[in-house]
Amino acid sequence: MTAVFARHALAPAPQPSPAALQGLRAARAQAIGRAATLALHDELALAPKPGLVSFADSGSHDDMDAHTFMRSLFALRRYFPQIAALGMALAPFAALERCGQQAEARMLRATGGINTHRGAIFMLGLLCAAAGAASRHGWPLDAVHLQRALTTHWGDALAARAQRAPTLPGGIAARRLGLDTQHVRLHTLLTIMATLDDSNLAHRGGAEGLAYARGAVQAFMAAGGAAAPGALARAQALHQAFVARRLSPGGSADTLAAACWLHRVQAL
């Protein structure tokens, strides 16, 4: 009797069939990609945020508004699951690149040629691919293992193209302050802006605009950031100051979306 129990205890767990495994991977890629689309909506929905498009207004932009962004999101909704599936298949970087280029073309058709999400197509696309690869290996979807997946499978290709793998700032510190979701995302965005050399700011405002933006945001954070009393009113004033100078930190917005995505995929 003991031997019978021992044999049952040592029996390997049944493995899923190839068809079942394919279905599980497809569902995982779909969930990873959907988290990216939702994260871009998270970024769009945050208001106020300095100079950026939201459902409240178009920020420092005359050529786009929230409706433009929503058309772009709809056009990109299949891209993120596709590139997550490519990552899960450990596809070569050229395949990821081609998938991203096709997504960019769909975005431009949807927006009438307006660049709403080019940076996010690259950043979130790579992160979705990394999440797919990490899932294949059974790794957790945290910043350390996503970075490991990127460097292991596509690090050489990124280096050859002089591209840096995306980094993932988290909203952990803001969540520990006990803030609600709006304040957590605002605090995270401003933390990013205080340190990131945002090429969008430099393009629109030059070195002077970049210096102004960083100084204004650092002063906001030094006064307590989104955790301070009256933070939303102060953030609205900062938003208006950016709009007056036509400054828009698009790179920081993409990085906020990446942080929102990480928070979502860690719950999968």
Domain boundaries, the chain: 20-265
- Please tell me the pTM assigned to this model: 0.91
Average pLDDT for 166-172: 64
The answer on pLDDT for 16 being more than 90 is no
Label residue 12 by pLDDT band (50, 70, 90): low
Q: Tell me the pLDDT tens digit for each residue of 209-225.
A: 999 999 999 999 999 99
Q: Tell me the pLDDT tens digit for each residue of 230-268.
A: 999 999 999 999 999 999 999 999 999 999 999 999 999
| DSSP for the chain, written as a single string | -HHHHHHHHHSPPPPPPHHHHHHHHHHHHHHHHHHHHHHHHHHHH--S-TT---SS--TT-SS--HHHHHHHHHHHTTHHHHHHHHHHTT--HHHHHHHHHHHHHHHHHHHTS--SSHHHHHHHHHHHHHHHHHHHHT--SSHHHHHHHHHHHHHHHHHHTT-PPPP---SHHHHHTT--HHHHHHHHHHHHHHH---HHHHHHHHHHHHHHHHHHHHHHHHTTGGGSTTHHHHHHHHHHHHHHTT---HHHHHHHHHHHHHHHHTT-
Label residue 22 by pLDDT band (50, 70, 90): confident
The answer on pLDDT for 4 being more than 90 is no
Given this model, what pLDDT does residue 171 score?
66
